[in-house]
Chain A
Amino acid sequence: MSAADTRAARVLSLTLDPDRDVDRIHGNGINTIDIEAVEGRYMLSGGADGVIVIYDLENYSGKLQYTCKAVCTVGRSSRHVHKFSVETVQWYPFDTGMFVSSSFDKTMKVWDTETLKPAEVFQFEGNVYSHHLSPIARKHSLVAVGTNNPKIQLCDLKSGSRIHVLQGHRAEVLSVRWSPRYEHILATASADSKVNVWDVRRASGSLFTLDQHNGEKSKASAEAVNTAHNGRVNGLCFTSDGLYLLTTGTDDRMRLWNSASGENTLVNYGKVCNESRKKLQFAVSRGCSPDFVFVPCGSSVAVYALHTGELVTMLRGHYNNVDCCEFHQDHQELYSGGKDSNILAWVPVLRTADVEDESNNDNKGAAGLSAVNPAFQDAWSSDED
């Protein structure tokens, strides 16, 4: 069994981690979480109360049961805290010295992690639904911002300027995402049911817009031509290789698109309940074969197989709506945050010890076997690590 198959096996056995807790700092719902890409150690979360918290995910306590402690918080008492709910947080992709948050108080703040003070504040005219920094960009440092306004603003972190505007949508922009493959490609989703893909180097409009019927005009009713969904499109996620784009909409559907051609791959996920009026943050696994999509669905997280559309399982554990989820690529763990102010960690049940010291390697194989689905038992008899 290859490494990818083993990772897939771990994803298939995700359950709520009984040993790990995340410090409960937020008093209100958690809207967004982000795990830094460099070490995979620190997690940012933004809440409906405007508070931003940074957690350390690693366990150095030496005990089995541990809580992911909050390292620092931008709480209500801070002078610089957002006045209304924080909708998106994202680490600077290249180091944890900086992070960016945007909020319904119409601002986007670029924070210095050491001092927890904003180095830059961008003011907007409407609620900011979503922002994204390209995870691979070396030639530019643009942040795409989706707001109430149909125009998408590109703010430059280096110079602080924001003259670049992308026009094309007709209603508020609910989600923006840079491609993890090409640093100039940006996808944007809007309440006008359309998803546009842009190349920011071009002066003219979008490269193409996603059409759910792939040009078959006969299938659509007249208004639905050239729309990605039959409702507001509120979630966007690229697969980690950037070749495919997933979109979710309030028509309760999730669609998989070929990101180069814009073609709908017509994978049928069935009804993916979606009542969110803001953006939906969902995640895709990486390096597993097959890959999985984790979508918040009511008060649970639904796990679908990426290319077949099969619903694998529903992860239940939250007491209220789940708003966001993020997949930890290195450990195949899922973190989800929701209105119940909890962040839950889901780990593959195959591991019994979650202590991060290398000497405990032998522990991992043996003790976990009794809980393992017989179909995957063979994978663990060979020492994967």
Chain B
Amino acid sequence: MNRKRALISDTFNLKKRRKGSEKFGAGNDKDEPKDIKSTLEYLMTLFPRKLFNDTLPQVVLKHQLYSIHNDKTLVDKEVNKLRECGELLMFQLGFDSEAFGLVFTSDYKTKVLAGEEGKGTRTTVEKFLEKVLPSCTDLSFSKDKMLKVFLFTDSEITQLVKSGVLTVREAGSWWLSIPNSGKFTKYFIQGRKAVLGMVRKSKYGEVLQADLEERRTTSQVKFPLRYHVHDIVGAELVER
């Protein structure tokens, strides 16, 4: 809904933006930790492992980092550095071309291999994890690359897709993905919509962050509220 005429109060900034009330002691993560890695670790703790019966590695979205650190370009650079040295993996999550999921490589490996226990695809997946992940920081792979550079056969690629490590992007190219992440995406989008709704429905369309975090969430919201708050602030769906 686009108002044809902006409200006078908008011009004169009468509406005080009160969402950034963390300064008043409610949260302790606004203290500008310069280290991106520790922020990542903190955000990972917000991820609900029990919800997925521990089958998923902890996932954080790249824009959640923007809600904690002010300098987005710096965040991007640091994330790329971590990816270069192989500690972090980035995934295209699919529901938004700009939403990238970040997972620690060690976490990813353990979970994927645990999920592959007893399955026939196990060896192929292991081979993939050993060969491809350390050498290549891409988000997607084309058929050419898989066949020629990494020397996988067609049937092995099918096995990788079946196990969930690769998802089809288009004919002849695949995204790197997290197995069983469908549930994650579904709950995430649901929860995001619900939290946004909570903010929009409140009086004047604003909420104190401390207040919001204390509210009872509907059954739609399966993740801890803070996780969603970092997400919507970082993605600039709300203003702090």
Nearest-CB residue, chain B, relative to A218: B138
- Chain A residues with Cβ below 8 Å from B142 are 217
Q: Are B73 and A266 in contact (CB under 8 A)?
A: yes
Q: Is B11 an interface residue (CB 8 A)?
A: yes
**Of residues 136 to 184 in B, which have CB atoms within 8 Å of A's CB atoms?**
138-142, 169-170, 173
Kindly state the separation between the CA atoms of A219 and B12 in the bound complex, as whole angstroms: 41
Q: Is A132 an interface residue (CB 8 A)?
A: no
Nearest Cβ on chain B to A218's Cβ, whole angstroms:
4
Nearest-CB residue, chain A, relative to B171: A222
Q: Is A258 an interface residue (CB 8 A)?
A: no
Kindly state the separation between the CA atoms of A281 and B96 in the bound complex, as whole angstroms: 28
Q: Is A385 an interface residue (CB 8 A)?
A: no
Nearest Cβ on chain A to B213's Cβ, whole angstroms:
23
Kindly state the separation between the CA atoms of A271 and B66 in the bound complex, as whole angstroms: 11
Q: Give the contacting residue for A222; candidates B70, B76, B141, B169; CB below 8 A.
A: B169
A249-285 interface code vs B (CB 8 A; 1 in, 0 out)? 0000000000000000011111100000000000000
Segment with Cβ contacts to B, from A84-92, A103-111, A316-324, A347-355: A316-324
Nearest-CB residue, chain B, relative to A273: B236
- Chain A residues with Cβ below 8 Å from B71 are 308-310
Q: Is B13 an interface residue (CB 8 A)?
A: yes
Q: Is A362 an interface residue (CB 8 A)?
A: no
Nearest-CB residue, chain A, relative to B100: A219
Nearest Cβ on chain A to B75's Cβ, whole angstroms:
8
- Chain B residues with Cβ below 8 Å from A217 are 140, 142
Q: Are A268 and B11 in contact (CB under 8 A)?
A: no
**Of residues 182 to 221 in A, which have CB atoms within 8 Å of B's CB atoms?**
216-219, 221
Q: Are A267 and B73 in contact (CB under 8 A)?
A: yes
Q: Are A318 and B173 in contact (CB under 8 A)?
A: no
B209-240 interface code vs A (CB 8 A; 1 in, 0 out)? 00000000000000000000000000110000
Q: Are B169 and A221 in contact (CB under 8 A)?
A: yes
Q: Are B76 and A310 in contact (CB under 8 A)?
A: no
Q: Give the contacting residue for A316; candidates B5, B11, B76; CB below 8 A.
A: B11
Q: Is A224 an interface residue (CB 8 A)?
A: yes
Nearest-CB residue, chain B, relative to A269: B72
- Chain A residues with Cβ below 8 Å from B12 are 316
- Chain B residues with Cβ below 8 Å from A321 are 6
Nearest-CB residue, chain B, relative to A318: B11
B10-46 interface code vs A (CB 8 A; 1 in, 0 out)? 1111000000000000000000000000000000000
Nearest Cβ on chain B to A211's Cβ, whole angstroms:
15
Q: Are B139 and A219 in contact (CB under 8 A)?
A: yes
- Chain B residues with Cβ below 8 Å from A320 are 5-6
Q: Are A218 and B76 in contact (CB under 8 A)?
A: no
Q: Is B85 an interface residue (CB 8 A)?
A: no
**Of residues 54 to 91 in B, which have CB atoms within 8 Å of A's CB atoms?**
66, 70-76
Q: Are B236 and A271 in contact (CB under 8 A)?
A: yes
Q: Are A218 and B139 in contact (CB under 8 A)?
A: yes
Nearest Cβ on chain B to A214's Cβ, whole angstroms:
12
- Chain A residues with Cβ below 8 Å from B75 are 268
Q: Is B135 an interface residue (CB 8 A)?
A: no
- Chain A residues with Cβ below 8 Å from B6 are 298-299, 319-321
Q: Are B5 and A222 in contact (CB under 8 A)?
A: no
Q: Are A299 and B11 in contact (CB under 8 A)?
A: yes
Nearest Cβ on chain B to A295's Cβ, whole angstroms:
15
Q: Are B140 and A270 in contact (CB under 8 A)?
A: no
Q: Is A230 an interface residue (CB 8 A)?
A: yes
**Of residues 221 to 255 in A, which have CB atoms within 8 Å of B's CB atoms?**
221-222, 224, 230
Q: Report if A319-B72 is in contact (Cβ < 8 Å); known contacts: A216-B138, A218-B141, A270-B236.
A: no
Kindly state the separation between the CA atoms of A269 and B71 in the bound complex, as whole angstroms: 9
How many chain B residues touch A (CB < 8 A): the figure is 27
Nearest Cβ on chain A to B17's Cβ, whole angstroms:
11
Q: Report if A270-B66 is in contact (Cβ < 8 Å); known contacts: A216-B138, A309-B72, A316-B11.
A: yes
Q: Are A268 and B72 in contact (CB under 8 A)?
A: yes
| Most B Cβ at <10 Å: residue of A218, A221, A309 | A218
Kindly state the separation between the CA atoms of A102 and B141 in the bound complex, as whole angstroms: 47
Nearest Cβ on chain A to B131's Cβ, whole angstroms:
17
Q: Is B1 an interface residue (CB 8 A)?
A: no
Q: Are B140 and A299 in contact (CB under 8 A)?
A: no
- Chain B residues with Cβ below 8 Å from A316 are 10-13
Nearest-CB residue, chain A, relative to B74: A308
- Chain A residues with Cβ below 8 Å from B169 are 221-222
Q: Are A224 and B97 in contact (CB under 8 A)?
A: yes
- Chain A residues with Cβ below 8 Å from B92 are 219
**Of residues 62 to 108 in A, which have CB atoms within 8 Å of B's CB atoms?**
none
- Chain B residues with Cβ below 8 Å from A221 are 97, 169
Q: Report if A222-B173 is in contact (Cβ < 8 Å); known contacts: A270-B236, A316-B12, A319-B5.
A: yes
Nearest Cβ on chain B to A277's Cβ, whole angstroms:
13
Nearest Cβ on chain B to A347's Cβ, whole angstroms:
18
Q: Are A230 and B97 in contact (CB under 8 A)?
A: yes
Nearest Cβ on chain A to B55's Cβ, whole angstroms:
26
Nearest-CB residue, chain A, relative to B140: A218
- Chain B residues with Cβ below 8 Å from A219 are 92, 139-140
28 contacts between A and B (CB under 8 A): A216-B138, A217-B140, A217-B142, A218-B138, A218-B139, A218-B141, A219-B92, A219-B139, A221-B169, A222-B173, A230-B97, A266-B76, A268-B73, A268-B75, A269-B72, A270-B66, A270-B72, A271-B235, A299-B6, A299-B10, A308-B71, A308-B73, A309-B73, A316-B10, A316-B11, A318-B11, A319-B6, A321-B6
Tell me the A residues contacting B by CB distance below 8 Å. 216-219, 221-222, 224, 230, 266-271, 298-299, 308-310, 316-321
Nearest first, the 5 closest Cβ-Cβ pairs linking A and B are A218-B138, A268-B72, A271-B236, A218-B140, A218-B139
